[in-house]
Amino acid sequence: MTRYLLLPMQPTPNGTLHLGHIAGPYLRADILARALRRQGDEVSVICGADVYENWIQLPALRSNVSPETLCRNNGNAIHEDLRSMGIGVESWIDPLGEVDSGAYAALHNELLDRGVRGGGLFLKSERIPYAENTGRAVTGVWLLGRCPGCGLPAGGNCCENCGFHYQPDQILDPRSRLDEGRLIWREERSWFARADDPARIESRLSRLTGSPVFRDLAIRYLRSTGAEVRLTAPGDWGVANRIDGNGAVVCNTFFAYCVYCGEHFARLTGRPNPLREGADRDTQVVALAGVDNLVAALITPLVLSGCLPGTRGFDRVILNRFLLLDGAKFSTSRRHGIWVSDVAANKAISTDELRLFLSSLSLGEDEVNFDVAALIQFVNWHRRRLGSRIAEGEMEIRDIPAGAILQMLKGRGIPVQYAAVEDIRPDALLAAYLAWLSNDDVRRSDPALWRAALAFLVEPLAPLLAAELRSGRKGEEGILIRAGRDLVDADLRSIVHLQQEN
């Protein structure tokens, strides 16, 4: 038995969740947690809203509400979106909420203070663009230009096209997103961390990710930046820097957020925070993120755990490229996507069916297109296949221990136990489930065993279907009740948004 703490990237509450978000770290974390528990491991999943990401300022401005109000409304909606997709978390972090706000800010300043006092950080002067008319620091959400890596239009500090990360003075043809006049460049000092031995950081990447694609992208960034990580920044939104005046806000790094999640884990389980140095390393920490957060999830923790006394890094990082819709990236700002709230309100398709289809897409090192026609074809094939098998075998229910099912499946060569978390791939789990669905020998000789094993295999992917199979009752939100109906394009027309305008 192994203990795991799974930490999917905290979603930014600049809007609610669409399937592009779900298909990445959130569904992967939930499937991974369920599969690990199925093989007898202990798993905690902790997540929360990234309220101090400065990208939330733009939708707040456009909606004429405060960032706090936007974060509260969207943060609650995001938590509900996860629940409606069957994605469970043991603890939900709200850095602006009554429970977390004080402790969250205090931990960020504690880590900054540790780094400053321990000599692990250094002050760096940099050129920061300010808007002439408003005096706003034009960084993050406010900064537009072209990526210095690929030359295509980009903004903030990361190119969505090639994944390259950059500092404000590196972006080409910089300008403000708003009509704020020309840019005035000023020298500012902020705290940074730097790896003493970048080559050692590069060598450790292979222990964190098995993907050569993401490893090479990380190495490219390390060599272009000197393995530097920002700890403070100019700005007016974020955790206030209480240590000194070098950078108005403490950067809300994913690593510091995860250390805070570790505090929640310690309270929940009575075990030490696994991201604190000195704790027994009996809990494996796995971070999950999209490629746009490669630096935050893969590089920054390696650098910071070596520069902030009393901390330690992740054991494994699982990354994914973007999910596309109609050939373009899902986008909140362009309203291009399929939103979870619309899916939850649509009675023609179940969330389990979407989980199964998303599992088939093998989102990983490559971008994958979400094709609505392929979704309809998959759902209808699965409904007919499952409906015919259940109708033939019908509903003999027998309580069979999970251990017995596991041993039986192992004896038949069906993978149900895994040594490495990367091996627990949604598409592989789906293939095992579909193969068993077509196993006529066991279905005819022992229908109850076949059905129990089917529930066992599908549970990580489609938990509502697993409950239906175990109970023999068709749930209102489940698949079995829909098995006699075909899904048609008109059923989904209202939830697929292809608008491209800004």
Residue 27 lies in a domain: no
Confidence at residue 186, expressed as pLDDT on a 0 to 100 scale: 95
Instruction: Label residue 345 exposed, middle or buried (CB < 10 Å: 0-12, 13-18, 19+).
Output: exposed
Which has the closest alpha carbon to 30: 94, 81, 93, 74? 81
Least confident span in 19-33, 175-189, 383-397: 383-397
Q: With cut-offs at 50, 70 and 90, classify the pLDDT of residue 396.
A: low
Q: With cut-offs at 50, 70 and 90, classify the pLDDT of residue 369.
A: very high
Residue 392 lies in a domain: yes
- Phi and psi, residue 376, nearest 5°: -60, -45
Q: Rounded distance, CA 443 to CA 257, Å?
A: 48
Residue 385 lies in a domain: yes
Q: Rounded distance, CA 138 to CA 124, Å?
A: 18
Confidence at residue 500, expressed as pLDDT on a 0 to 100 scale: 53
Q: With cut-offs at 50, 70 and 90, classify the pLDDT of residue 281.
A: confident
> Is the model's pLDDT at 395 over the cut of 70?
no
Confidence at residue 399, expressed as pLDDT on a 0 to 100 scale: 83
Q: With cut-offs at 50, 70 and 90, classify the pLDDT of residue 417.
A: confident
Q: What's the average model confidence in pLDDT over 216-225?
A: 88
Whole-model pTM: value is 0.93
Residue 201 lies in a domain: no
Interval 234-272: pLDDT, tens: 988 999 999 998 998 998 789 999 999 999 999 999 999
Confidence at residue 249, expressed as pLDDT on a 0 to 100 scale: 93
Confidence at residue 501, expressed as pLDDT on a 0 to 100 scale: 47
Q: Give the structural domain span for 355.
A: 348-495
- 3-state SS of 215-271? HHHHHHHHHHHCCEEECEECCCCCEECCCCCCCCEECCCHHHHHHHHHHHHHHHHCC
Most confident of 227-231, 339-343, 403-407, 484-488: 339-343
Interval 132-143: pLDDT, tens: 999 999 999 999
Confidence at residue 333, expressed as pLDDT on a 0 to 100 scale: 79
Confidence at residue 221, expressed as pLDDT on a 0 to 100 scale: 85
> Is the model's pLDDT at 502 over the cut of 50?
no
CB 163 within 8 A of CB 224: no
Residue 489 lies in a domain: yes
Q: Rounded distance, CA 17 to CA 87, Å?
A: 12
CB 159 within 8 A of CB 143: no
CB 191 within 8 A of CB 108: no
Residue 158 lies in a domain: no
Residue 233 lies in a domain: no
Residue 474 lies in a domain: yes
User: Which CATH number characterizes residue 354's domain?
Assistant: 1.10.730
Residue 239 identity (one-letter amino acid) = V
Percent of the chain topping pLDDT 90: 77
Q: With cut-offs at 50, 70 and 90, classify the pLDDT of residue 161.
A: confident
Q: Number of structural domains, the chain?
A: 1
